[in-house]
Structure 1
Amino acid sequence: MSDGDAELMDAACALLKRVYVEGRHEVVAAMRLADGSIQLGVHVDGSARRSAVCAEGVAAGNAIAHAADGSPMAVVSIVSVLRRAEGTLHIIEPCGVCAELITDYWPEARVWVTAADRLTAVAATELLPAKRLRRW
């Protein structure tokens, strides 16, 4: 993992440490934009399950809001961190819905995942190999 991506993971872990609430705020996603800035998102759970919002979706909205002209700025790298109740931290891949969202906007983004107990980076398009890319 490059120093920049390690910084991304550190930012996610630091925010997760501050906001963690078991069952409500258990995941933080961090996205590095092309301008070098980091945008974060926190998983927000709700009692009516459809009201839950994944951390990647929140971070994606922040990335779009960050762009001065309102167009989605390129996202270079993404990492999502889950904290379990016992306090352990885990790099996780985006859920299917978030993988769809990420590949809709940033198909070439580098996404960190844990595969075979090893941290590895994949292109966002590798998360959904059969996905048809949407033209906006």
Structure 2
Amino acid sequence: MDYEISIEDETLVAAAQEIIRKRYEWERHHVSAALRTKTGEIFTAVHLEASLPRVTVCAEAMVIGKAISEGYKDFDTIVAVRHPDPDSEDREIKIVSPCGMCRELIADYGRDCKVIIMQEDKLAKTDILELLPMRYSR
């Protein structure tokens, strides 16, 4: 976790928060992700909740697919955020760490991609491979 959080990183977090504010729907979309390419384009997406949990598609997968579909494949930084449930007392949209499957997917498509996470109640940025120690080789 040795990368400084830049204004561009804060803008990326804000983009993820903005899209989930706009697209939040109880039991449908409560996580979003924002991805910045190495040339500065920002993509956002929400996750797709399904009644059969294994069919659910994470926001990180959605945003990677969106960027690739638009012709971008050189990824710089990604972040995911979660909207609170309607009955939650804490109404803050918080950064969440990618799940194991998303860590694998990010590493597959952006081997040197950085990930913004929370560490000790503050923003931190790390290499995806730091979040995926002893990863198998492709």
TM-score (norm 2): 0.88
Q: What is the root-mean-square deviation in Å for CA atoms of aligned residues?
A: 1.2
Structure 1 segment 52-131 matched on structure 2, within 5 A: 52-67=56-71, 73-85=73-85, 86=88, 87-131=91-135
Aligned to 1:21: 25
8 A Cα contact 1:78 1:112, kept in partner: yes
The aligned length equals 130
Where structure 1 has 5 or more consecutive residues not aligned to the other structure, the ranges are none
SS of the equivalent of 1:122 reads strand
Deviation, 1:80, is 0.6
Q: After the TM superposition, which parts of structure 1 deviate over 6 Å for at least 4 consecutive aligned residues?
A: none
Is the Cα contact below 8 Å between 1:81 and 1:92 reproduced in 2? yes
Paired AA for residue 76 in structure 2: V
Gaps of 5+ in 2: none
Give the share of equivalent positions with the same residue, in percent: 35
DSSP-derived class of the 2:107 partner:
helix
Superposition TM-score, scaled by structure 1 size: 0.90
Structure 2 counterpart of 1:94, which letter?
P
